[in-house]
Amino acid sequence: MPSTSIAACPIPATCNWQPFGLPRRPANRTVVFRGFLEDTDQLKFVIDSRSEKAEQIEHQPWGEACWYFPNTREQFRIAGYLTLVRSSSADSEREIARQKSWQELSDAARVQFAWPHPGETRAEDAGAFSPPPPDAVSPLPNFCLLLLDPVQVDRLELRGEPQNRWLYRRDSSQSWSTLAINP
Amino acid sequence: MPSTSIAACPIPATCNWQPFGLPRRPANRTVVFRGFLEDTDQLKFVIDSRSEKAEQIEHQPWGEACWYFPNTREQFRIAGYLTLVRSSSADSEREIARQKSWQELSDAARVQFAWPHPGETRAEDAGAFSPPPPDAVSPLPNFCLLLLDPVQVDRLELRGEPQNRWLYRRDSSQSWSTLAINP
C-alpha cells in the first residue's frame, strides 16, 4: 500500500470516514488515526460501542477515510472494508490488538469510555464526567478497535502544474497497481 | 441555523461530505465551501458534472459535511438534502445562483472545468491541461452548483471540561431546536 506519505506525515492525526448512517443515509465524522495494525496495511481507529457509529458499521462494513494535508496540499481518499473488534471478539490476535490500543491511549482518552452514553440527552450530574480513571491495562467492554482494510486509494496532489492524481488499487492477489488519472 | 461559527471562521474553506459511492458504498471527499446561498441556510459547493460525485448525488440526494476547526477544536457535522444545479436547470433562481458561483471563481478554478475528463486515464497531451481560459461570465455546461440544505447539525466542542456537544434540528415548520447531548 502506498502509505508512506500518510504514515510519515506528522500533521493531522484525524481523518473523516463514513459508514452508513440511517438506512440509505451515509454519515461522516472526524476520528483520530491510531496508526497501522502491526505488519498490515490496516488503519486503526478506536470507537465506543455505545455510539451510533458502531451499529452503522455492522450494517455496512465499508468506509472511506479522507485526509487533506494543508501543508503539502494533498488529498488521500482511502476506501476499504471495516472490521469492528468488540470485547466479545473471538479472534485472539485482534483482541490483543484491541487491548494494546487501549493501553496506548492517554488517560484523558481512556476516561471518555467511562462517560455517560454518547449522543443521549446531556447528563445533568457533572460528576458523571469525572468518573474514576478506568484500568489502564484491561479495556472497558464498550471500547472497540476499528480496522479499515484499504482496497483503493485515490491520491490528489493539488500542488503541481497541473494537479496530479493517482489511483492505487489492490487486486485479489493483494498486489497494488498504480494508475495516473486526470485530476 | 446555528451557522455563525462556520460562516465567521476564516480557517478551513474545505469540508468533507459524502453522497453514495457505488451501490451501498458511501464515498467521501474534500470540497471547498463557497458560502451560503443568498437569504438561505443552504451551503454552496461547486462540482463538475463529469465527476463521479454528480451521478452519486442524483442517486442519493443526502449528504453530510464534516468540518473540524483545529484552532477552536470544534467539529461540526451538517447533514441534509443535496440539490445539484446543472446547466439544464429549469429553476431560474438556481440557474442565476449557478452563474454567480461561476463568476466568483478564480481563473485557476474555472479553467479546471475545461480540463480533460476527471478520473479517466491521465491525458498524455500536456496541452490538455492548458486550454484557453473559459469565459468568465457564462459557465461551461459541465459546471454545477451543489446545495446542501441542512436539517441536522451535530456540534462537538472538544475544548471544555468535559467536552460539550449539541444537536440542532430543523422541524417541518423550519424552526431549529437545540438539545445538549453527551459528547
CB pairs under 8 A between A and B: 126
| Residue of chain B minimizing CA distance to A48 | B183
Q: Determine the distance in angstroms separating the CA of B115 from the nearest CA of chain A, rounded to an integer.
A: 8
Does B65 contact A28 at a Cβ distance shorter than 8 Å? yes
- Nearest CA among B88, B118, B101 for reference residue B43: B101
Q: Please check whether residue B28 is in contact with residue A77, taking contact to mean a CB–CB distance below 8 angstroms.
A: yes
Does B79 contact A21 at a Cβ distance shorter than 8 Å? yes
Query: Cell digits for A116?
Result: 455517560
* 3-state secondary structure string across B40-82: CCCEEEEEECCCHHHHHHHHCCEEEEEEEECCCCEEEEEEEEE
Q: Please check whether residue A48 is in contact with residue A142, taking contact to mean a CB–CB distance below 8 angstroms.
A: yes
pLDDT of residue B57: 83
A120 touches chain B (CB under 8 A): yes
Query: Identity (one letter) of the amino acid at A9?
Result: C
pLDDT of residue A50: 95
- Residue B1's pLDDT band (boundaries 50, 70, 90)? very low
A179 touches chain B (CB under 8 A): yes
pLDDT digit string, tens, across residues B2-48: 333 333 333 333 444 444 333 446 677 778 889 999 999 999 999 99
Does B26 contact A26 at a Cβ distance shorter than 8 Å? yes
Q: Please check whether residue B144 is in contact with residue B31, taking contact to mean a CB–CB distance below 8 angstroms.
A: no
A27 touches chain B (CB under 8 A): yes
CA distances B41 to B3, B138, B161, Å, are 8, 26, 31
Distance CA B176, CA B51 (A): 34
pLDDT of residue A11: 35
Q: What is chain B's mean pLDDT, rounded?
A: 84
Distance CA A160, CA A77 (A): 19
Query: Is the pLDDT at B150 greater than 80, yes or no?
Result: yes
B54 against A154, higher pLDDT? A154
Q: Determine the distance in angstroms separating the CA of A1 from the nearest CA of chain B, rounded to an integer.
A: 19
* Residue in A28, A120, A181 closest to B28 by CB: A28
* Residue in A14, A28, A66 closest to B64 by CB: A28
A121 touches chain B (CB under 8 A): yes
The predicted complex's ipTM stands at 0.81
- Can you tell me whether residue B26 is helix, strand or coil? strand
pLDDT of residue B18: 46
pLDDT of residue A58: 81
* Residue in B119, B129, B167 closest to A181 by CB: B119
Query: Cell digits for A104?
Result: 496506548
Query: Identity (one letter) of the amino acid at B49?
Result: S
Q: Please check whether residue A51 is in contact with residue A119, taking contact to mean a CB–CB distance below 8 angstroms.
A: yes
Torsion of Cα atoms, B88 then B89 then B90 then B96, to 10°: -110
A133 touches chain B (CB under 8 A): no
Can you give the residue ranges of every domain in chain B? 9-91+143-181
B88 against B178, higher pLDDT? B178
Length of chain A: 183
pLDDT of residue B25: 61
CATH topology for A9-91+143-181 is: Pnp Oxidase; Chain A (2.30.110)
Distance CA A105, CA B121 (A): 42
pLDDT of residue B137: 98
Does A182 contact B21 at a Cβ distance shorter than 8 Å? no
pLDDT digit string, tens, across residues B86-106: 998 889 999 999 999 999 999
pLDDT of residue B61: 85
* Residue in B16, B116, B162 closest to A28 by CB: B16
Query: Cell digits for A161?
Result: 502544474
Instruction: Kindly provide the residue ranges of all beta strands, DSSP E only, lying in chain B, ordered along the sequence.
Output: 14-17, 29-32, 43-48, 62-69, 74-85, 143-157, 164-170, 176-181
Tens-digit pLDDT string for chain A (183 aa): 433 333 333 333 344 444 433 344 667 777 888 999 999 999 999 999 998 888 878 877 888 888 888 888 898 889 999 999 999 888 999 999 999 999 999 999 999 999 999 999 999 987 999 999 999 999 999 999 999 999 999 999 998 778 999 999 999 999 999 999 999
Distance CA A134, CA A143 (A): 11
Q: How many CB atoms lie within 10 A of CB B154?
A: 21
pLDDT of residue A4: 31
Query: Is the pLDDT at B152 greater than 90, yes or no?
Result: yes
